[in-house]
Amino acid sequence: MDSESVQLSAIPHVLVIDDDRRLRALLKEFLSENGFLVSTSVSASDARTKMQYFDFDILVLDVMMEEETGIDFMTTLRPDDDIPILLLTAMGGSEDRILGLGRGADDYLAKPFEPKELVLRLQAILRRAVGPLGLATESVVFGDFAFAKKYGELRKRGEIVSLTSGEVSLLRVFTRNLGVVVSRETLAFRARIEARTVDVQIARLRRKIETNQRFPKFLVTVRGKGYVLRAG
């Protein structure tokens, strides 16, 4: 992997979700000028579609959207996804802030706001998810393995483990939800694989990360619920 590709991959990718076209355009321009790769969505449903195809580092989410509120959208995400979320809202009361933070938001910014403050808050959230080498949540360690989500690279004690594209997609979902049970349906949806092939893909992945596939230590089946990746 050349230095240019690593540098580009290291740019934080933000998804701005707001039904205000003017604000989306302003935020995209300002955040792009301040070191972020920016995508935008007009609604929660549009955001879900984009999240199937792209890995985002953080969401900027408007609370007061017509089709589905930001709070409702965030609530549906949180059981299976720990992506950082900053809420934007015109409601500045303490009860609204408490509700948003209680539902899983990482930070909260009331409109109107200074764009520079948004940049600083996003940078602060991302710093909290950055390890000592500056690799944001993208390097997830379980046992002797380390998985770099952005590069789709799995290493065991420093040696690269060969993965198929399906195995990379599964590991991206699992490492984003380390220690959380993920259903077969969610795995198929987020990893973009056929639901009927999930068990087969899991079995193949286990061959590469488990010493004893009958009694797995890391990739564990939770009967009736799905699978969970444990740190060991």
Set out the domains of the chain in order of their start, with CATH numbers. 3-128 (3.40.50.2300), 139-229 (1.10.10.10)
110: helix, strand or coil: strand
Asked if 61 and 17 touch (Cβ cutoff 8 Å), the reply is yes
Taking only the tens of pLDDT, the chain with its 232 residues reads 333 333 334 578 899 999 999 999 999 999 999 999 999 999 999 999 888 777 788 999 999 898 899 999 998 887 667 789 999 987 666 676 778 888 888 899 988 899 999 999 999 988 776 544 344 445 789 999 999 876 788 999 989 999 998 898 899 889 888 899 999 998 888 887 888 899 999 999 999 999 999 999 999 999 999 999 998 7
For 26, how many CA atoms within 13 A lie in the half-sphere containing its CB?
12
Closest CA to 171 of 138, 144, 143: 138
Q: Structure pTM?
A: 0.59
Strand intervals (E) in the chain: 13-17, 37-41, 58-62, 85-89, 107-110, 139-142, 145-148, 153-156, 159-161, 219-222, 226-229
Structure tokens at 4: 């240019």
